[in-house]
Chain A
Amino acid sequence: MANSAQADTLSPQGTSAPPGSSEPLADLAARYKLTVSGARPGLFSYTKQLWARRHFVVAFANAKTRATYSTAKLGQVWQVLTPLLNAAVYYLIFGYLVKTKGGIENYVAFLVTGVFVFTFTQSAVLAGSRAISDQLNLIRALHFPRACLPISFTIVQLQQLLFSMVVLCAIVLGTGEPLSLKWLLIVPALLLQFVFNVGLSLVLARIGAVMVDIKQLLPFILRTWLYVSGVFYSLDNYTKDAPSWVARVLEANPGAVYIELVRDALIDSHTDIPLHTWGYAVGWAILMGFGGYVYFWKAEERYGRG
């Protein structure tokens, strides 16, 4: 009796396994050119998919920015207010209260540039570490190259940086720096920093996806990085007596490289930087941008597993 009932179940219209076929399922799948679900695409086709979702990346970034400020009364005005208040605090402390300039002529401009540029990397890293783990719902619901998320979050930080840059330019002008053609150099400098940050946030996104503890650890790592990147003081003053390799390592530190490039562009009195700083900037951007992308892609099929 069971057999006849099952025979019914397996009638062709009833649609389970093809009747009478003893073909292994894998061969059946291969014959109809079915692909393995959820397999990681090759690097090239992954990049193609990512490019196809470029509108999504940008729209997601805009949406995130809007959502961040949607409950605040002042809304996106905070995008300008936040860097302005930050600068005001530094101006109050270092411009009026503490008079240690460490031999820097325009200390306020020096400091605010450092803080704003470093904040870009810092917040990209923090956002990157959460890009996958905080978006599990989205990842488990829809299919898209997961690299969209860390890239989107870095674009959010880039947008924030552009507002900060407007504030920064006003401050730099206000402290008596002349407007010059050299200012245009901040465009390539920040673009390179953006590529570097995207790579770094891709790396952190992969780590953060499996290692939740990294979120607790990151603030300390970032603060250490902040102190060795010469945000508050000129690195030269401290490396004079140190062995030469220390100076060289600190000089190649990507945190310091991008800050120095922007300072050099904006602040006339800033000590001229050697040309190889641009070399470092390009090198870091390529290394981190490409390396981070490949590193992230390698685990593509595993994101969302949780």
Chain B
Amino acid sequence: MAEQPAIMSWSEVTEQSEVEVPEQSQPQEPKQAPEPAEIPPTVVVDDVHLIYRVHGASSGKGSATSALSRLALRKKATGVTEVHAVRGVSFVAYKGQAIGLIGRNGSGKSTLLKCIAGLLPPTTGKIYSDGQPSLLGVNAAMMNDLTGERNIILGCLAMGMTQQEAEANYDEIATFSGLNAYNGKDFTKLPMRTYSSGMAARLRFSIAAARTHDVLMIDEALATGDREFQLKSEARIRELRKEAGTVFLVSHSMKSIRDTCDRVIWLDQGVIKMDGPMEQVVNAYEGK
């Protein structure tokens, strides 16, 4: 039923919601429909736009002649290309939700997460959050020359734990990652550069998941793990949700979206194409 034309962009939806949506849907699910005042919002995204300014996109600024002529002619940096990655996104996320973000490559999912995390200030619009959202991305930095052991401690300290807390959490993290007995070898004693990409992803996820986050955002981090670890991490995400946080998950795997999320936001070319319960949006996305 949900053909593409039936799907509306967010702005249309919000406009309508203010006028006509009010109570008509509430009788359908009375038990699961507490007053919105009872569930506090954790993240409010208010009309966020993000424009990347890419320097030297057209004429290479590295080339000496072009750089010199630019200086000589006193031109302002030419070849600045603007990429409008997020174009006016608004939504409210509530406590206890696991929200999946889906969409094609380059639809603005990761950029939006970085904005929410406060790592990339939006060009216009505001993002409000309860506590500090943490982003767990595929390229979350670890120090490759150091052992897994030191990376765990360092990661914990960077997240704001004290030395004692970091040491107390160490065993749990090492066990959860499974790296302390990986193929019969203790990989936490080896430098991270010797890890496979999946093993590194395991370690990163384990470190980030060690703390309860008010808002945890996971960017494709589960994609590299094997089936066993995926199951483990999905279970952990469910636990984190219970501990009252909100979880965002960016993924291209509809399986992990189905397994972890209850609400899905479909982004397309920087705008919200659809936002709603998981089943409905995923079905629409898959063209069912």
In the complex, which residues 1-51 of chain A have their Cβ closer than 8 Å to any Cβ of chain B?
1-3, 5-22, 24-26, 28-30, 32-39
**Interface SS of B by simple majority:** mixed
Whether A38 lies near B139 (C-beta < 8 A) is no
Annotate A46-69 by CB proximity to B: 1 below 8 A, 0 otherwise.
Answer: 000000110110011001101100
Contact bitstring B150-173, A, C-beta under 8 A = 1, else 0? 100111011110110010000000
Given A29-B44, A34-B128, A144-B158, residue A70 in contact with residue B6 (CB < 8 A): no
Which of A9, A24, A26, A301 neighbours the largest number of chain B CB atoms within 10 Å of its CB? Answer: A9
Q: Does A137 contact B (CB under 8 A)?
A: yes
Least Cβ distance of B83 to chain A in Å? Answer: 13
* Total contacting residues, chain B, CB less than 8 A: 83
- Tell me if A142 is interfacial: C-beta within 8 Å of chain B: yes
Q: How far is the CB of A300 from chain B (nearest CB, A)?
A: 11
B229 within 8 A of A: no
| A139 located at the interface, meaning its Cβ lies under 8 Å from any Cβ of chain B in the complex | yes
- Whole-angstrom distance between the Cβ of B249 and the nearest chain A Cβ: 15
Interface check A143, CB cutoff 8 A: yes
B100 to chain A, nearest CB (A): 12
Q: Answer yes or no: B133 CB below 8 A from chain A CBs.
A: yes
Within 8 A of B (CB), among A151-173: none
B73: chain A residues at CB < 8 Å are none
Given the complex, which residues of A lie within 8 Å of B121, measured CB to CB? 38, 301-302, 305
A29-B44, A140-B119 are contacts. A14–B157 as well, Cβ < 8 Å? Answer: no
Q: Which of B27-35, B176-184, B252-260 contacts A (4 or more CB under 8 A)?
A: B27-35
Tell me, in angstroms, the Cα distance from A14 to B276 when the chains sit together: 5
Bound together, the chains give a CA A60 to CA B118 distance in angstroms of: 22
Give the distance to chain A from B194, nearest Cβ to Cβ, in Å: 12
Write out the residue numbers on chain B whose beta carbons fall within 8 Å of the beta carbon of A15.
94, 97, 262-263, 276-277
Answer whether residue B1 sits at the interface, using C-beta atoms and an 8 A cutoff: yes
Interface range on chain A (Cβ under 8 Å from partner): 35 or more
Cα(A8)–Cα(B26), bound, Å: 9
Partner of B157, one of A10, A20, A30, A53: A53
User: Which residues of chain B are within 8 angstroms of A59 by Cβ–Cβ distance?
Assistant: 153-154, 157, 163
Decide if A138 is an interface residue (CB 8 Å cutoff). yes
Residue B220 lies at the interface, judged by CB distance under 8 Å to chain A: no
On whether the beta carbons of A28 and B118 are closer than 8 Å, the reply is no
Cβ-based interface call for A135 (8 A): yes
* A141 part of interface (Cβ distance < 8 Å): yes
Chain A residue at minimum C-beta to C-beta distance from B155 = A142
Check A36–B21 contact: CB distance below 8 A: no
- Least distance between A144 CB and chain B CB atoms (Å): 5
Alpha-carbon distance between A135 and B143 when the two chains are bound, in angstroms: 10
| Chain B residue at minimal CB-CB distance from A141 | B140
Residue of A nearest to B215 (CB): A37
Residues in B neighbouring A52, C-beta threshold 8 A: 160
Partner of A20, one of B21, B32, B115: B21
When the two chains form their complex, are residues A71 and B132 in contact, meaning their CB atoms are under 8 A apart? no
**Does A95 count as interface, using CB distance less than 8 angstroms?**
no
- Considering the chains assembled together, what is the distance between the CA atoms of A52 and B158 in angstroms? 10
* Contact call A11/B25, Cβ cutoff below 8 A: yes
- Chain A contacts for B1, CB-based, 8 A: 1, 5
Report the nearest B residue to A306, measured CB to CB: B120
Q: Does B234 contact A (CB under 8 A)?
A: no
For the complex, is A304 an interface residue (Cβ under 8 Å from B)?
yes
Q: Tell which of B9-17, B195-203, B236-244 binds the partner.
A: B9-17
CB–CB B94/A142 < 8 A: no
CB distance from B184 to the nearest CB of A (A): 25
CB-based contact B33/A3 at 8 Å:
no
Asked whether, in the complex, the Cβ of A140 is within 8 Å of the Cβ of B143, the reply is: no
Q: Mark B257-288, 1 if CB is under 8 A from A, else 0.
A: 00000110000000000111100110000000
Q: Looking at the complex, which one of A11, A22, A66, A71 makes contact with B29 (CB distance below 8 Å)? A: A11
- Are A14 and B133 touching (Cβ within 8 A)? no
Bound form: Cα–Cα A19–B249 in Å: 24
Inter-chain contacts of B128 with A (CB < 8 A) = 25-26, 29-30, 34-37
Q: Are B277 and A9 in contact (CB under 8 A)?
A: yes
A68 to nearest B CB, angstroms? 8
Say whether A8 contacts B280, CB under 8 Å. Answer: yes
Contact indicator B126/A36 (Cβ below 8 Å): yes
Asked if B8 lies at the interface with its beta carbon under 8 angstroms from chain A, I say yes
Q: Does B23 sit within 8 A of A, measured CB to CB?
A: yes
Mind listing 9 A-B residue pairs with CB under 8 Å?
A: A1-B1, A6-B21, A15-B277, A16-B13, A38-B115, A38-B118, A66-B150, A142-B141, A143-B134
What 5 A-B pairs come out closest when comparing CB atoms?
A38-B118, A9-B276, A29-B128, A137-B141, A18-B36
